[in-house]
């Protein structure tokens, strides 16, 4: 993932006569940072767009770029005319690569929130089909200069090796294959134990490796040595051994908060990328609140149940981020009034928090300001007094 990201920063990719460009990701980030309330890709930072040599070594930054969330944000930005139509090729590339990475990093055969993040098994044949289709897809990758970097061939060989291994394991009646066990850390974990038992032996024989491996399995391979560079492995159900630099300015007058916050009119403004991001964020907050309170009256008052999958509405980002085939844990679509109130709330916090966060009683001060502004701007918001505490 790191190598693919690094190549995409330097070169555009040509895949099936379509151009995939890092410029689209950077353009989304630049447009996103100008948002007043919420961002469509909040995890995207400068470290993701222009990583330094140390940041290029972090797998997390590369994986967050090639994610379903970023692909959904790019597609939404295209619809809202923030990005050009050719950026759809980049979104499709990111979406496919995210599914492929999930299939190559599975832990369990159980159903997960991400549909492709499951082990290869007979009961879940779509993972194997995805890997076979991805082999042909990766084979078509090349830079616009007509070259194929080693990471392209390496990814193709990795997929081919996993499929060959699973084919052999099926003959041994293995039910499923968690591909996460074939990544670098588990392999380092395994060979570290073998080297530890071999002592000072730079070239152990196959018999020595086999005997030491058998002894390691008997002594529980899952336990890591202290001070190792490998991650801990806690997925016991899958292991069955059958053989800022800026100075902080303290606020000396925290009781006075700026009330002259300019709020964009929700009715007048066109459906923009920022509005889609705001509505998605509000739905995420409501989902967390309903898990805590589970109030039926609040749900009727705050949630919209009549939205359709219209990709021209301000709910587009919510629909694009949904995983198909999941009946539970669905994203929530807030009502229009709820979205307007939260938009005001976000703007108030943005214009006041940075100036007064170093003072005392900041939370109470901001709460007073927010309640006052919302009561004046949206008098119908507090009509449901029964759920006032919520």
pLDDT, tens digit, for every residue of 354-364?
666 666 666 77
> Measured between alpha carbons, how far is 320 from 82 in angstroms, rounded to an integer?
16
pTM above 0.75, yes or no: no
Per DSSP, the residues of 207-223 read HHHHHHHHHHHHT-TTP
Burial per residue of 49-65, b for 16 or more beta-carbon CB atoms within 10 angstroms, e otherwise: bebeeeeeeeeebbbbb
Pairing mode, strands 176-177 and 13-15: unpaired
Classify residue 179 by its DSSP letter.
G
What is the structure's pLDDT at 353? 66
Whether residue 245 is contained in a domain is answered as: no
Whether residue 248 is contained in a domain is answered as: no
- Name the token pair of 318: 């919510």
What is the structure's pLDDT at 93? 95
State the angle between helix axes of 22-32 and 273-293 in degrees (0 to 180), rounded to the nearest 10.
70
How many CB atoms are closer than 10 A to CB 14? 17
What is the structure's pLDDT at 155? 92
pLDDT, tens digit, for every residue of 81-132?
888 889 999 999 999 999 999 989 888 887 777 888 888 888 888 898 999 9
What is the structure's pLDDT at 227? 57
**Are residues 184 and 168 part of one domain?**
no
**Are residues 121 and 27 part of one domain?**
yes
How many CB atoms are closer than 10 A to CB 152? 20
Whether residue 134 is contained in a domain is answered as: yes
**Are residues 193 and 100 part of one domain?**
no
> Measured between alpha carbons, how far is 131 from 104 in angstroms, rounded to an integer?
9
What is the structure's pLDDT at 205? 83
Whether residue 335 is contained in a domain is answered as: yes
* Contact assessment for residue 116 and residue 103, using Cβ atoms and an 8 Å cutoff: yes
> Measured between alpha carbons, how far is 36 from 351 in angstroms, rounded to an integer?
10
**Are residues 75 and 194 part of one domain?**
no
Domain boundary among 135, 159, 175: 175
What is the structure's pLDDT at 191? 79
**Are residues 282 and 213 part of one domain?**
no
Whether residue 265 is contained in a domain is answered as: no
First to last CA, the chain: 43
Domain that holds residue 121: 2-175
* Lateral strand order in the sheet of 142-143: 18-20, 13-15, 142-143
Whether residue 13 is contained in a domain is answered as: yes
Is 60 strand, coil or helix?
helix
3-state helix, strand, coil in the chain (%, to 5): 55, 5, 40
> Can you list the residues of the chain whose pLDDT is less than 50?
235-270, 325-328
**Are residues 85 and 20 part of one domain?**
yes
Residue matched to tokens 């099936």: 16
**Are residues 186 and 121 part of one domain?**
no
**Are residues 140 and 197 part of one domain?**
no
**Sign of the C-alpha dihedral, residues 225, 227, 228, 232?**
positive
Closest-CA residue to 32 (of 102, 82, 67): 82
Whether residue 147 is contained in a domain is answered as: yes
Whether residue 250 is contained in a domain is answered as: no
What is the structure's pLDDT at 312? 56
**Are residues 128 and 101 part of one domain?**
yes
**Are residues 146 and 30 part of one domain?**
yes
> Measured between alpha carbons, how far is 379 from 231 in angstroms, rounded to an integer?
53
DSSP bridge partners of 15: 18
**Are residues 220 and 151 part of one domain?**
no
Q: Where are the beta strands (DSSP E) in the chain?
A: 13-15, 18-20, 120-121, 142-143, 176-177
Residue matched to tokens 């844990």: 329
**Are residues 155 and 191 part of one domain?**
no
Number of domains forming the structure of the chain: 3
Cβ partners under 8 Å of residue 202, min gap 6: none
């Amino acid at each position: 993932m790191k190598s693919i990201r690094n190549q995409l920063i330097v070169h555009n990719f040509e895949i099936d006569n379509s151009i995939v460009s890092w410029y689209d990701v950077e353009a989304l980030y630049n447009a996103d940072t100008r948002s007043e309330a919420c961002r469509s890709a909040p995890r995207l930072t400068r470290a993701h767009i222009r990583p330094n040599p140390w940041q290029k070594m972090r797998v997390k930054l590369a994986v967050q770029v090639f994610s379903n969330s970023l692909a959904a944000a790019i597609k939404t930005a295209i619809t809202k005319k923030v990005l050009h139509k050719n950026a759809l090729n980049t979104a499709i590339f990111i979406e496919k690569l995210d599914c492929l990475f999930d299939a190559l990093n599975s832990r369990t055969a159980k159903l997960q929130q991400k549909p492709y993040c499951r082990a290869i098994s007979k009961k879940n044949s779509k993972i194997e089909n995805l890997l076979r289709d991805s082999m042909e897809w990766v084979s078509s990758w090349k830079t616009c200069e007509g070259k194929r970097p080693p990471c392209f061939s390496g990814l193709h060989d990795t997929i081919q090796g996993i499929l060959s291994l699973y084919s052999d394991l099926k003959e041994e009646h293995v039910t499923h294959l968690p591909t996460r066990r074939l990544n670098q850390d588990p392999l380092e974990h395994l060979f570290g134990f073998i080297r530890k038992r071999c002592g000072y032996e730079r070239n152990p024989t196959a018999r020595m490796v086999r005997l030491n491996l058998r002894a390691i399995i008997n002594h529980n391979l899952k336990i890591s040595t202290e001070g190792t560079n490998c991650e801990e492995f806690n997925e016991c159900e899958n292991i069955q051994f059958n053989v800022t630099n800026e100075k902080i300015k303290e606020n000396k007058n925290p009781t006075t908060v700026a009330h002259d916050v300019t709020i964009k009119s929700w009715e007048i403004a066109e459906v923009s990328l920022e509005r889609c991001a705001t509505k998605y964020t509000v739905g995420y907050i409501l989902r967390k609140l309903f898990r805590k309170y589970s109030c039926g009256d609040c749900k009727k008052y705050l949630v919209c149940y009549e939205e359709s999958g219209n990709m021209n509405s301000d709910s587009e980002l919510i629909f694009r981020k949904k995983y198909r085939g999941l009946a539970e844990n669905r994203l929530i679509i807030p009502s229009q009034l709820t979205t307007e109130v939260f938009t005001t709330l976000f703007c108030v916090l943005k214009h006041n928090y940075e100036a007064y966060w170093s003072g005392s009683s900041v939370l109470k001060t901001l709460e007073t300001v927010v309640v006052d502004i919302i009561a004046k701007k949206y008098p119908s918001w507090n009509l449901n007094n029964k759920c006032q505490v919520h």
